[in-house]
Amino acid sequence: MAKTMGKIALKGLVSLVTGSASGLGSQVRQRLAMKGSKVLAVDINHKTIIEEDVELKSRVSFITGDITDERFLNDLFTKYPKCDAVVNCAAAYRSYNYLTSYLVSKQAVDVLKNNPINAFGVRGCVINIIGLQEKYDQKYFDEQDVFAQKTGHSFDSLDDKVLALAEDMIANRIRSNSVIVPPNSDLKLFAQLIENIIEDQYIAGQIINMEDEFRPYLGTVKDVLAEYHVPPEPKDLPLIQEPVLQISQQLPEPKASTGSVGSTRTPLLRIDNKKQ
């Protein structure tokens, strides 16, 4: 099937936005509604929301619930079986963001798979938001442990589940992207970026960093190398007139990255591993 060139029109699309009552999610909710999307705005507390624009209000369904409760998610997608785009803004800056994004995405994919492949060759898209922290201290990891115990999930086994979900999305032509958002980012610019990702069928399997300049997220380069078991550059090796591949086979295999296509985590954000 030949794919159509151009932008996917937001008008008429159904977009699910979690964490929609404030911050990142609030900006996305308003932006997508302004562009004509029907928005399913999910948050644990909507009491503070007052949608001033009557036209925008008519395009937004405010849904109150806890996305860590799988029963709530089941009921949500049963009541709203149509969805084209999912933006996981909830808990973006919390230690358990990786898990909340997975819980919503897992349920949403079953709905997205029911969509027909559109003129652009896709069924829908999922966008996961990763909020950067100023520091990753013991308090951060303690919060992660408490959350895991509360929800009955294990972060240790989550990578395999995310990889399986990513493969399912790829097989069903559902786009997945992650956006890294530093603290105090421009919220309007962020919302515009989300709009652009949904509109462009060629943005898939990407990790988009809003940060102006690169900085190491885990400290020193030495820390990063140790985490991924990257072998040091060999020294004083005899010259071997053989393909480089043979030499590389003698070295330890690098630890597999969890930032593969469709994954909600990036190699630079291995922040679930406790400090030794």
For 34-71, what is each residue's pLDDT tens digit? 999 999 999 998 766 655 556 677 899 999 999 999 89
Beta strands in the chain, from DSSP E residues, in sequence order: 14-18, 38-43, 60-64, 85-88, 124-131, 174-181, 207-209
CA pair distance 145, 166, nearest whole angstrom:
25
Query: Is 36 part of any domain?
Result: yes
Q: Which helix (H) or strand (E) holds 119?
A: none
> What proportion of the chain, given as a percentage, has pLDDT over 90?
51
Can you name the residues that pair with 175 across neighbouring β-strands? 125
217 pLDDT higher than 50: no
CA pair distance 94, 91, nearest whole angstrom:
5
Query: Is 90 part of any domain?
Result: yes
Mean pLDDT calculated for residue range 177-195: 93
CA distances for 260 relative to 153, 165, 206, angstroms: 22, 11, 9
What is the total count of domains within the chain?
Answer: 1
Q: What is the pLDDT of residue 181?
A: 93
Are 76 and 63 spatial neighbours (Cβ–Cβ below 8 Å)?
yes
Q: Which helix (H) or strand (E) holds 79?
A: helix 70-79
Q: Which of 98-107, 159-168, 241-250 has the lowest mean pLDDT?
A: 241-250
Query: Is 249 part of any domain?
Result: no
Q: For helices 138-151 and 97-112, give the axis angle rounded to 10 degrees.
A: 40
266 pLDDT higher than 50: no
Range of the domain at 189: 14-217+259-269
Q: What is the pLDDT of residue 158?
A: 85
Pick from 124, 128, 121: nearest CA to 177? 128
pTM score? 0.75
209 pLDDT higher than 70: yes
> Per-residue pLDDT tens for 132-181?
888 888 888 889 888 888 888 877 788 889 999 999 999 999 999 999 99
Query: Is 64 part of any domain?
Result: yes
18 pLDDT higher than 80: yes
Token pair 């829908």: residue: 124
CA pair distance 153, 166, nearest whole angstrom:
19
255 pLDDT higher than 80: no
214 pLDDT higher than 90: no
10 pLDDT higher than 70: yes
Q: What is the pLDDT of residue 264?
A: 35
CA pair distance 122, 202, nearest whole angstrom:
10
Query: Is 95 part of any domain?
Result: yes
CATH code, domain carrying 114:
3.40.50.720
Query: Is 7 part of any domain?
Result: no
Query: Is 250 part of any domain?
Result: no
276 pLDDT higher than 80: no
Query: Is 233 part of any domain?
Result: no
9 pLDDT higher than 90: yes
Mean pLDDT calculated for residue range 230-243: 43
Q: What is the pLDDT of residue 51?
A: 56
Arithmetic mean of pLDDT over the chain: 78
More confident residue, 31 or 148: 31
